[in-house]
Amino acid sequence: MPFPSSVLFCCDHNAIRSPMAEGMMKKFYGQRAYIQSAGVKNDLDIDGFAVAVCNEIGVTLEAHRTRSFEDMHNWGDDLSSFDLIVALSPASQRQALELTRLFHLDVEYWPVMDPAGMAETREAKLRSYRQTRDQIRERMLARFGPPGHVA
C-alpha cells in the first residue's frame, strides 16, 4: 500500500484522539505527507491530558486549535483533496463516509478508546490517555511503517 500524500484524522471533537494522531504522524513521518485533523463538532479546546501524554513522547500539541468538518469546508479545505481519511470514532467514520460519498478516497476506521471521563484521579486519567495514545501509535506504525521508513 503506497504511503499517502495527505491524511486527515478525525474523531468526535478534535480535542483528544485526532490531534494525538495528527501530532504523532507529523513527528514520525515529517514532511512525507500533508496531515490535518478535524472533529464532527468543534465545541471543546485541546484536552490537557492529551497534551500531557503526547509531551511524554516528544509530540507537542499545545498550539493545536480544534476544528470541525464544517470549519474545514468554510475555510476552503476540500475533503476530496485528501488521499486517506482515518476515523477514530464511529460518529466521525459516519460523517467522513457521508461527506466523501461522491469522491474516490479511502476512509479507514481505527477503533480507538475515548479516554474522556473514564477515570477519577489524575493518575488514572493519565493511564487511560496513555492507553489511547499507544493504541493510535500501534495502528499508525502498523499502517505506515516505522518512522523514517520509506514504503
CATH number at residue 125: 3.40.50.2300
Domain count across the chain: 1
- Residue 68, in any domain of the structure: yes
DSSP code per residue over 44-83: SPPPHHHHHHHHTTT---TT----BHHHHHHTT--GGG-S
pLDDT at 76: 84
pLDDT at 55: 97
Rounded Cα distance between 95 and 93, Å, is 5
Which domain range does residue 121 map to?
6-143
pLDDT at 149: 54
> For the chain, which residues score pLDDT lower than 50?
151
- Residue 151, in any domain of the structure: no
pLDDT at 58: 95
- Residue 149, in any domain of the structure: no
pLDDT at 104: 77
- Residue 27, in any domain of the structure: yes
- Residue 148, in any domain of the structure: no
pLDDT at 105: 82
pLDDT at 14: 93
- Residue 106, in any domain of the structure: yes
pLDDT at 26: 95
- Residue 21, in any domain of the structure: yes
- Residue 150, in any domain of the structure: no
pLDDT digits (tens, 9 = 90+) for 78-122: 888 899 999 999 999 999 999 888 887 889 999 999 999 888 899
90: cell is: 464511529
**What is the model's pTM?**
0.93
* DSSP category for residue 120: S
Closest CA to 18 of 92, 107, 124: 92
